[in-house]
Amino acid sequence: MLAVLMPVSLSAAPFAAYVMDARTGQPIYKQNADTKLHPASLTKMMTLYLAFTAIERGQVRLDSKFPVSSNAAAEPPSKLGLRAGQKIELRYLLRAAAIKSANDAATAIGEGLAGSETAFAQQMTAMARALGMRNTQFKNANGLTQEGHYSTAHDMSILGRHLFYDFPQYYNLFSRRSADAGIAKVSSTNKRFLDAYSGADGIKTGYTRAAGFNLTASAQRGKKRLIATVFGGTSTAQRNQTMAQLLDSGFSRVPNRVRETRPAPPKLVAQQKVVRRAQVQPKPAATQPQTQRLVLNSSEPPAPASRGSASTAAVATRDALAAAMREATQAAPSPAASASRLALASSIRPRLRPAAQGAAVDEAVASAVASAAEPAAQSASLAAPVLQASMRPARAPRSREAQGSASVAAIQSRDDGKADAVAQAVAEATGQDNNSLSLLASPAPKPRSETVILAAMGEGDIAEPEALEIVSRPADSGRHWGVNLGLYRSHSEAEKLLLQTALQDGTVLEGANRRIADTLRGFEANFVNLSKSDAQLACERLKARSQTCRVVGP
């Protein structure tokens, strides 16, 4: 286990560190890893993560132009120099936020994606929960100090790992030393560490007076990759040196080959809107429609016949039909005969041309069927029952009574002499009986109202944000024992010994503070803030390695 403990006298803010094997997500070292602290510009890692997500979902594009509000333009440095009212492509905002850590660019991204920085901060917190960042809450998109805005070294390392695995197509943005941001060329705030540490390829720096100097870094050596986060550095150089020591020690401890386990994708739970329909009393017309009667005709199936008799009857019927058709087509009806025939004013089916020829054909077919049926009376004919009982049903009109009346009136206007016979024929044809296929007329249903009354309910309870944990680091933290490692000629020599000892005995010294006392005899190296049992155990282990030490009591 690794342990990096910042000297209390040099810390500008509470110190925390976390190192993980990026391939598996397993921790290598953690020091105050779950303590809620100010993340500073490490916040922009989540801003960029949501921007990458929106691009991949097709919500925006890299060339989408985002408007710059007066709120974004008024953000304090570091900034790109955006002006209120201008529009700038998203690709330039991403470069400025990732490389220069521009606050105005980060705010413009949040407002462009969510409509307001407050709404975007809520999306950031929701995504943090989905990624497993349980001790993180965001209030803005850039990381400037604000009440209720906090994170941990552990959570930021989780976010750095997701950036590497979830968006490899955009990850190289974090290793660039400079880039064109549209209105200016920007340089990386992480350039010193990227240039100084071999294998480093990201990710993000951060600084505010309340947070100190923060850094989430990723580096690769061979097949090994580590991701580490440091909170509370005293300067850029000191923070980078501490990060380098953490990574060096981590690379020496992790195995060369492990089974890579990619992080699970975020599981966002969409907040469902509760919608309740207003209760409307239904009308009787909608619940009690008028009944419609459907009478289907049923016919007896044709009687089976023997092969011999059926063949004889079929041949006779076919010959009679052919002869009748020839006679009907050769006979030319006279005009007088055509005028005396019964003609309907309107018909659903198309009329035959000429009408007289069609009537002659019908009569010939009827006579042929009758003549063919006599010699085959003793056998079951196939043609006669089919022709007699399987006439195609005419399409039922909406109102048979109305059509019958109209047909009779039309016929009377053409041939008064035939009116009575036609009226009787129409009445017989339209009469309702159990053997006809007809749909009784019914009024059309009343149209349903297109108005839908919806009553929107509340969005659901929104839990109160977790209170910001105020971290204080008293000199002894309630534990009054320590381990003294002796006197040394220089401050750096004593600090180096304390750091090496902490890296070797991180389990026992995880909760200890590192303190160097400047005395007249030299620099005294001490581990303080230990219980008596931990101090004795740590000293015994050091003596086993021939290291001078003694337990210091209260």
Enumerate the active-site residues: 41, 44, 101
Which long-range contacts link 281-284 to residues 24+ away (Cβ below 8 Å)? Answer: none
Cβ neighbours of residue 538 closer than 8 Å, sequence gap 6 or more: 483, 505, 508, 509, 512, 527, 530, 549
Q: Which residues of 31-60 are buried (b: 16+ CB within 10 A; e: fewer)?
A: bbbebbbbbbbbbbbbbbbbbbbbbeeeeb
Output the CA torsion sign for 315, 321, 325, 327: positive
How close are the terminal C-alpha atoms of the chain, in Å?
28
Distance, in Å, from the CA atom of 112 to the CA atom of 104, rounded to the nearest integer, reads: 12
Cβ neighbours of residue 392 closer than 8 Å, sequence gap 6 or more: none
Cβ neighbours of residue 60 closer than 8 Å, sequence gap 6 or more: 51, 54, 90, 112, 113
Place of tokens 């710059």: 68
CA atoms within 13 A on the CB side of 28: 27
Q: Are 45 and 171 in contact (CB under 8 A)?
A: no
**Which phi and psi angles does 47 have, rounded to 5°?**
-60, -45
Cβ neighbours of residue 319 closer than 8 Å, sequence gap 6 or more: none
Question: What token pair was written down for 145?
Answer: 């100090």
